[in-house]
Amino acid sequence: MTTWLDDAQQDAWRKLATVVERLPGVLDTQLRRDSDLSHFDYLTLAMLSEAPEHVLRMTQLAERTSSTLPRLSHVASRLEERGYLRRSPCPEDRRAINAQLTEAGWEKVQATAPGHVATVLAVVFASLDAQDVAALDHVMGKVMHTLDTDPSL
Per-residue pLDDT reduced to its tens digit, 16-55: 999 999 999 999 999 999 999 999 999 999 999 999 999 9
Question: Per CATH, the architecture of 32-121 is what?
Answer: Orthogonal Bundle (1.10)
Q: In whole angstroms, give the CA distance from residue 34 to residue 102.
A: 20
Query: Within 10 A of 98 (CB to CB), how many other CB atoms are there?
Result: 20
Sign, CA torsion 106/107/109/114? positive
- Say how far apart CA 82 and CA 96 lie, in whole Å: 23
pTM of the model: 0.90
Enumerate the domain spans of the chain: 32-121
Q: How far apart are CA 21 and CA 27, in angstroms?
A: 11
57-104 pLDDT, tens digit each? 999 999 999 999 999 999 999 999 999 999 999 998 888 999 999 999
